[in-house]
Amino acid sequence: MRTNAVQFNTEPNWSSLGDTPGEGVQACKSGDFPVIRLSRMTDYGVVVMSQMSHHDGTLTAPELAQATGLPVPTVSKLLKQLAKSGLVESHRGVHGGYSMARDLDDINAMEIIEALDGPVALTDCVDGAEDLCNVQSLCPMRGGWDKVNRAVRKALTEVSLAELCPPRVFLDPLDPSIARPAKKRAAQ
């Protein structure tokens, strides 16, 4: 079962972030103030999608790994999850690879987080949480976190991928001749 993408931990000095899906957005100690952080996989997903947005046509996982400095297995895993969620498109065949499914302005931060880490839920008792709280029926906060959770979800929905991706080039820009033209979709 996947862990919720947003978690809040109150234990002191807890700071581990995993880079596998399901370890999600987690709270970490930064000085005396707990902060909510994105998982590495979500961060890497934004990096990969940003790199893809700089090129027309399809790109392969090894090409994107070279351009971003990320390991090929990590990029492959990200691309599969992003394709499953409809954020990128997979193209098979000799000239296959991946391309953006939509414009950057049409993809928001919430979609990326949910594609890679699952639903955003601050606690186990809020709308959208996958796990149930063991003391939910007795808890005085029952339903109280929903307003905060809705505000966080709304804020993430209002930030587009275009706003997250500054127009810049990563480590080694891909040679434009490497990118292959995107396959045209059959008329439906």
Across 74-97, average pLDDT: 95
Mind listing the pLDDT tens digit for each residue in 140-187? 776 677 788 888 899 999 999 999 887 655 444 555 555 555 555 555
pTM equals 0.67
pLDDT at 14: 35
- Report yes or no: 120 and 6 within 8 Å, Cβ to Cβ: yes
Q: DSSP string of the chain? A: -PPPSB----STT-----SSTTS-BEEEEETTEEEEE--HHHHHHHHHHHHHHTSSSBB-HHHHHHHHT--HHHHHHHHHHHHHTTSEEEE-STT-EEEESS-GGG-BHHHHHHHHH----SSTTSTT-SSPPTTTTT-TTTTTTHHHHHHHHHHHHTSBHHHH--S---SSPPPTTTSBPPPPPPP-
- For the chain, give the number of residues: 188
Structural domains of the chain ordered from first start = 41-106 (1.10.10.10)
Rounded distance, CA 55 to CA 178, Å? 10
Mind listing the pLDDT tens digit for each residue in 95-131? 899 999 999 999 999 999 999 988 887 766 665 555 5
Backbone angles phi, psi at 37, to 5 degrees: -125, 150
Rounded distance, CA 69 to CA 50, Å? 13
pLDDT at 184: 54
Mind listing the pLDDT tens digit for each residue in 40-68? 999 999 999 999 988 888 999 999 999 99
